[in-house]
Structure formats: C-alpha cells, structure tokens
Amino acid sequence: MTKAAPKPRRPASGARARPARGRRSREEAARTRAKILDRAERLFARKGYRALSTRELARACGVHPYTIQHHFGAKAKLYEAVLCRWDDEIRALSARHAEGSGITQTIADTIDELLDYLLLRSDWVLLNIRSSLGEGLPQGVASADPAWIRFIDETLPRMTDAPRDVDSRLLLITIEGILHQHIASQRRYRELFGRDLADATLRQSVKRHLIAVLDAIVRAAG
C-alpha cells in the first residue's frame, strides 16, 4: 500500500514569511554601501584623501577591503561618490524654492532650509572644503562643478527679478565659500558669541544675515 504524500507545512500562526534571498541581498548590499559612505565621509573629512587607506576604512566599517572595492572600485571613486553624495538633494531643495519666486524670497526660503541641512552634514562640508583646496587628489576624481554651473544657468532665469549675464562660476565659488565657511566656523562662533549654531536664536540671526548678504551679492552679480 502506497503512502500518501506528506502535506506541506504551514507557517506557525503569527510567523512572518521570510523575504526572498534576492531581495534581502539587495537590501543588505544597500545597507553596506550606505555604511561605507557614512564612515568614509567622516574619515575623509578628518584625515584627507591621502592619509586614509582603504584598509583603514574597511576596519572602520567592519568589512573586508574587497567589499569596498566591490561597491566602489578604487579609493578615488569612493572619494568621488562621497563628494557628490548630497548634491542632488541640495539642487532639488534649491530648485523647489526658485520656481516662479522673486530672488529675495527664493534666497530666504533656500537659506532657511539649506543652513539646517548643511549643519546636519558638517563632515561633508569639511570634505568639500578639503577638496576645493586640492589635497593632492589623483587625476580622474570628477567634480560636481559642471552640474552646479548648469543648475545656476537654468535656475536663475526662473526667478522673476533675477539679474542677467551672471558669471555662474564666480557665483558658485562665492556662495559655496560663504556657506561652507559658516558651517566650518563653529569654534569661532563659540569664541565670539559664547555659543555655536546649535543655538536656535543665533542660527536664526545668522540666517537673516546670510539672506541679506547673498541677496545683495546675487543682485550685484549681473
């Protein structure tokens, strides 16, 4: 007499179905990539490109050096990925406030949001300052500057009273330099004001100051 085929087991009541291995692998890979970017952002900002080895970065991330190579290739490509990491978000933030608004309102709304955004990413700002100074970067590390120049050229005409014939290269260096310097100057704030930009009242005063300064600069640039 033949035995009946065993019935498939049902999951226990309340048990969750396990995600497919392929999806879990993609999620794990995304988490690993994000962790590498987070640690690299902090370490590159503090030590610079040449002083940080892939092996040291791998130890800080708790992964094998080959894992970093798998996700990013050479160290220069990892540096490039970190350097351009938040550019798309910042451009989207800026574009959202520029559409159909006057120049003063656009600057006010952008700075009000952007200063808070950059304060949360002070390591990335320090990295950008290092990058602008050169720090012996190898050939082949791509800059985000061309994309930013195109963005300025496309965005300024959308403002109802924006100046014409602005040199977007000079404007980029000027605005970036001012914002980055304020983010990087927390020690000077503490020396001069007795507190830094973590203080909400001081931060609002700085925003008003930056809005007035940048509005005057952009209007004079044309």
The tens digit of pLDDT for each residue in 193-202 reads 999 999 999 9
| Per-residue model confidence (pLDDT) at position 141 | 80
| Per-residue model confidence (pLDDT) at position 18 | 55
pTM equals 0.82
Domains and CATH numbers, the chain: 21-83 (1.10.10.60), 87-221 (1.10.357)
Instruction: Dump pLDDT digits (tens) for 138-173.
Output: 777 877 888 999 999 988 888 878 787 889 999 999
Residue matched to tokens 């030590």: 47
What's phi and psi for 19, nearest 5 deg?
A: -65, 150
Low-confidence ranges of the chain (pLDDT < 50): 1
Residue type, 24: R
| Per-residue model confidence (pLDDT) at position 135 | 75
| Per-residue model confidence (pLDDT) at position 188 | 96
| Per-residue model confidence (pLDDT) at position 5 | 54
